[in-house]
Structure 1
Amino acid sequence: MSGLLDFLKDFRWLLDLLDIALVAYIIYRIILLIKWTRAVQMLLGLAVILIVYVISQATGLYTLRWLLDNFLSSIILVIIVIFQSDIRRALMHVGRNPFFADLSYREETEVMEELVRASVNMANKRIGALIVIERETGLKDFLEVGVEIDAKVSSDLIASIFLPYSPIHDGALVIQQGRLKRAGCFLPLTQNPNVSKALGTRHRAAIGLTELVDAVAIVVSEETGKISVVVGGRITRDLDSTTLKRVLKRLLEPRPAKKKST
């Protein structure tokens, strides 16, 4: 035992380095989790409060410091209440596989080809559509309403779901782990006042969802026949088949096939 303790003392710097690396990784994952969400604005608000607290201490504003002392004494509870939904999603999806985790490179390519084909076909026929592709953050909270499908991604099936006489054409189609999971889902609309008033409900729902999670949304406009991609609450409009495929490949990050060793 003493030999082990001496060994750890000799290599204490390695443990310190590991400690720093783990903390840095945790901070990095937290930043990725809240990136492009409302949590960023909340954190900025907390940062402002901390700055005001430091200023009140330096300038002798005793009443203000007393108020902030009482507020900051329960800061952990405040953070838990404010970020409860983000914390819940993070705990539910720790170690979650990425979108294409269980698919081969050929299957990855086929899924994206079907998505592009379906989007272009519906755009040409002026069929409105909203397709949501789950990435690392799960969409379970948004799947309570909708019809379960659990089918292979097919352009024909996608088009049939969004036909005007389909009972579930108004909702969103959700893709998880490379499969069509649920259709007719209701998504939260964006509350951003800067969003163009020319955008319809589908676009606003796509923006609203991607403000909360890291999903990718494809929107086909029924009025204009234009294709858009929304991620992180930001919309890229008027995409053709080539651009749409390139954008999806960049966002979904398909991996090249590994060569078998001989």
Structure 2
Amino acid sequence: MLEMQFGLRELVDIGLVTFAFYRLILLVKGTRAVSIIYGLILILVIYYLSEEFGLLTLNWLLANFLGSMFLVIIIFFQQDIRRALSELGAGSLWRRRNVSDRLVNEVVYAALNMAKSRTGALIVFERAIPLGDIIARGVEIKAGMSRELLVTIFTPGTPLHDGAVVIRDGQVEAAGCILPLSSGVEHSTKLGTRHRAAIGASEESDAVALVVSEERGVISLAQGGVLSENLNEAQLKDALRNALEK
């Protein structure tokens, strides 16, 4: 039998692999990529069982599928891969963000206020991937965060209420911003423009987008192309903290 030599190099090797998997889990957590990963794991398990029990036809089919898995992963995960590479380039995979309670509280209280009055709103939080192109299409604000400012911006009839607010480094960077709409067919008929824009922004970057529906008066949060709807105060605070600290 081969004896395993375990030293500093092996320890570093295991540590790096463990850290890489940990960051990968954080990266895809709460995104649509999770369900696809579960599906691929299930296929691998079935492939292994088909070999063990001699199911030749099933094994042959799965072997051919797994042979092209690399291409399948690129097709399925193209937006997630692009977002991950952007985060890696920005260095966000190696650090954890600190999010102030004041920022979360001000945004949440403003959102609750607007939901109660059925005032539509769209607030985007810039994370590791810069949103310079989106900010450039809006109106520069560069003001400190406050619930009063957010409510004022989205008050119907004001010049900037139809666009999105972008929050960068804890301050209101711009308002009246135009976001890319989600191209997902499943979103085209079920959701309004604000919700599709929130999902689109979270698909194209690692941004987190908060939406207040003027029709239903409910609050939703988009991250990684996934929309979590009808959040209450506690759920919204937890979701924002978890998303912004990653």
The answer to whether TM tops 0.5 is yes
Alignment of structure 1 residues 1-262 onto 2, 5 Å: 12-94=6-88, 95-96=91-92, 100=98, 108=100, 111-112=103-104, 114-116=106-108, 118-119=110-111, 122-123=114-115, 126-136=118-128, 138=129, 140=131, 143=134, 146-149=137-140, 151-152=142-143, 153-183=145-175, 184-186=177-179, 188=181, 202=194, 206=198, 215-223=207-215, 226=217, 228=219, 230=221, 233-235=227-229, 237-239=231-233, 247=238, 250-251=241-242
When residues 89 and 244 of structure 1 are mapped into structure 2, their CA distance, relative to the original with a 3 A threshold, is: closer
Given that 1:133 and 1:176 are in contact with CA atoms closer than 8 Å, whether structure 2 keeps it comes out as yes
Question: How far off its partner does 1:179 sit?
Answer: 2.9
**Bigger mean CA offset, 41-50 vs 120-129:** 120-129
**CA displacement 1:136-176 (0-9 Å, x = unmatched):** 5x374993894152512344543343232245423332212
Identical positions, percent: 42
When residues 252 and 82 of structure 1 are mapped into structure 2, their CA distance, relative to the original with a 3 A threshold, is: closer
Secondary structure in structure 1 of the residue aligned to 2:30: coil
When residues 130 and 60 of structure 1 are mapped into structure 2, their CA distance, relative to the original with a 3 A threshold, is: same
C-alpha RMSD of the superposition: 4.1
When residues 46 and 172 of structure 1 are mapped into structure 2, their CA distance, relative to the original with a 3 A threshold, is: same
Secondary structure in structure 1 of the residue aligned to 2:36: helix
Whichever residue aligns with residue 154 of structure 2, its letter is: F
Unpaired runs of 5+ residues, structure 2, are none
TM-score normalised by the chain length of structure 2: 0.68
Whichever residue aligns with residue 54 of structure 1, its letter is: Y
Larger radius of gyration: 1
TM-score normalised by the chain length of structure 1: 0.65
Unpaired runs of 5+ residues, structure 1, are 1-10, 102-107, 255-262
